[in-house]
Amino acid sequence: MLGHALMNVFPDASFLGHRDVEITDAVSVRKVILQERPSAVINAAAYTDVDGCEDNPDLANAVNGDAPGYLASACSETGAILVHYSTDYIFDGSRMDYREDEVPGPLSAYGRSKLLGELAIQKNTKNYRIIRTAWLFGPHGKNFVDTILSLSKQMPQVKVVNDQVGKPTYTVDLARKTPEIISREPGIYHITNDGVCSWYEFACAFIPNAVPCSTAEFPRKAKRPAFSVLVNSKTTPLRHWSEAVKEYVHLKEAI
């Protein structure tokens, strides 16, 4: 999802996918960055199956943890800026919200692997922009909005958890914000759409038949933080999530 959105924002960039470079291979990563000599590397690759990471922690750590470190090392060698996307799931949800300088405490294999990636980047380069984001939705990929829209048409009621709270983020808006973050000082940035909601409240914005349920009623393999609201203290906020999801659903209906 995010990779496609970034392609629209950076039309003149070189786009590399799985077939072009294996990011879990340090040698391959260094070779391609030395060859391309980019001014900036934007890493939109990640293993984002939160429950899948519980079954495959080694793969999660390789993709989300080690690979960003390889990118950082090669960027440091060539003088490139590294932009990397991280997650609200590096926090444990024990607080109502989290600023950029809060101490992480991930609850899941996914969260732990993403935190490893952040630490590997900071260890291997100083010229980084780590963008923590949350609850991504948008074209070109599986996401909550698409799943719930589909279920809404198949059943009279759709149960959605009402005790996990966060900030939905439209990939299009996040991608459009990225050039600004590149121009800013190195560091960690929290970028989401504005506004806070539960998954149930999010669903109610675009389907008429959502009903609330608890996390206990909807058990998942990986533990999710109850509160993962990312506070953006460094930049101007993106538009409200409700406006963004309305645009996205309208776009889907027009196709």
The CA angle 106-80-133, to the nearest 5 degrees, is 30
Residue 110 appears among annotated catalytic residues: yes
Set 85, 89, 98, 110: catalytic member: 110
Strand partners, 169: 136
CA distance 16 to 81: 17
- What are the φ and ψ backbone dihedral angles of 186, each rounded to 5 degrees? -55, 150
Positions marked active-site: 110
